[in-house]
Amino acid sequence: MSIRVNDLKFSFKQYQKEFEDKALEILRGGYYIMGSELKSFEEEWAKYNKSTHSIGVASGLDAIWMTLKCLGIGEGDEVITQANTFIASVMGITMNNATPVFVEPDEYYGIDANKIEEKITDKTRAIIAVHLYGMPCQMDKITEICQKHNLLLIEDCAQSHGATFMGRRTGTFGSAGCFSFYPTKNLGAFGDGGAVITNDDDLNKSLRIYRNYGSEIRYHNKIVGANSRLDEIQAGFLRVKLSHIEEINRERAVIADNYLNGINNSKIILPKIRNNTSPVWHQFVIRCQEREALMAHLNHKGIDTLIHYPIPPHLSECYNYLGFKNGDFPITEEYADTVLSIPIYNGLTKNSQDIIIESLNGF
């Protein structure tokens, strides 16, 4: 008996007929890039999030760096984000030659809103809040800080499709919400994909031009842009999944509830839910001082786990040039040393969940 940390076959099988029908429809239709599936998906995704616009792009990383680019962020600008994020949030900043400024996370793994203001300088242009693991950041406070200091707010929603803060979807609090549809995400495609949602008409227009070689009208190139489009086939698959997103997130919430109620071991710290938020459990992340021993124990029971993430961006080799060292962000580093993601995915059986709970409690 072996329980994988994620198994994407199940979410395919859940809606297999719909995916297969959609694939054939698109293949037979003969139109594969920037067609009606993309247009419909963009409308449906904007509507689901109660946002004015949605722009499909090729990946979550593209969503972030192109958004910053279109908002005019570049060399000499500072962008604040949390130190415990996935590397893509930071690469989106540095790809524009802007400087990332890190803030420690709070106990819910989001950027610590109480530690943002001390990092603001006259070069600060924007804050990227990352709703890590599907847990919304402290958006009321962050929005207030952005207004007070006249900063742009961008949300990295690559792990938070459908999550809400005070009833409002993540991605709708500032200038833009950046999403990834990488296959393991809650709304996952069968390949790479991404999108930006925004209420800003100018940003919408800029991104649409930017993602398609800087052209609005074919062969009329206004600016040097990128090739970053969401394919018809992925947009079609995403429409199928989006029609079931509430079920998909509900199933994950049921698994998370089982874990929260069932896991009881003084060596293990469980995730806490921030007031007024509804997380979507992209990951179920526990912490343990004896993480390596716990991993080995679970592995021995046939249970796979993963670490999100073992090396924080400020200690990653690619960011040596920023000059950070061990000890600069003690909370982030402590999290990197103790976090462990246990299996949570659509199709994970109740029996497997019980084995995982029992194994954790037996450690």
Alpha helices in the chain (DSSP H): 9-14, 16-29, 36-49, 60-70, 87-94, 139-149, 201-210, 232-242, 245-262, 291-300, 330-338, 350-361
User: Does 186 contact ligand PLP by CB under 6 A?
Assistant: no
Report the alpha-carbon distance of residue 194 to residue 158 in Å, rounded. 8
Question: Which residues, numbered 139-178, are part of the site for ligand PLP (CB under 6 A)?
Answer: 156, 158-159
Q: Which of 6, 49, 54, 85 binds ligand PLP (CB under 6 A)?
A: 85
Task: Report how far residue 196's alpha carbon sits from residue 18's, in angstroms, rounded to the nearest whole number.
Answer: 25
Residue-wise burial string across 260-296, b where 16 or more C-beta atoms lie within 10 A, e elsewhere:
eeebeeeebebbeebeebbbbbbbbbbbbeebeebbe
6 binds ligand PLP (CB under 6 A): no
33-72 residues near ligand PLP, rule: CB under 6 A = 59-61
Which helix (H) or strand (E) segment holds residue 124: the answer is: strand 124-130
- DSSP, collapsed to helix, strand or coil, labels residue 61 as helix
Q: Which of 176, 52, 165 is nearest to 126 (CA)?
A: 176
CB-nearer residue toward ligand PLP: 124 or 159: 159
Q: Which is nearer to ligand PLP, 45 or 258 (CB)?
A: 45
Euclidean distance between CA atoms 93 and 102, whole angstroms: 12
Query: Applying CB under 6 A, does 86 fall inside the site for ligand PLP?
Result: yes
Residues 99-138 that bind ligand PLP (CB under 6 A): 130
CB of 189 to ligand PLP, least distance (A): 9
In whole angstroms, the minimum distance from the beta carbon of 59 to ligand PLP comes to 4
Q: Which stretch binds ligand PLP (CB under 6 A): 83-91, 259-267, 286-294, 340-348?
A: 83-91
Residue number, 161 or 268, with CB nearest to ligand PLP: 161
Applying CB under 6 A, does 194 fall inside the site for ligand PLP?
Answer: yes
Q: Which is nearer to ligand PLP, 15 or 133 (CB)?
A: 133
With residue 224 as reference, give the H or E element that holds it.
none
Q: Which stretch binds ligand PLP (CB under 6 A): 5-13, 86-94, 199-207, 334-342?
A: 86-94
Interface with ligand PLP by CB under 6 A: which residues?
59-61, 85-86, 88-89, 130, 156, 158-159, 180, 182, 192, 194
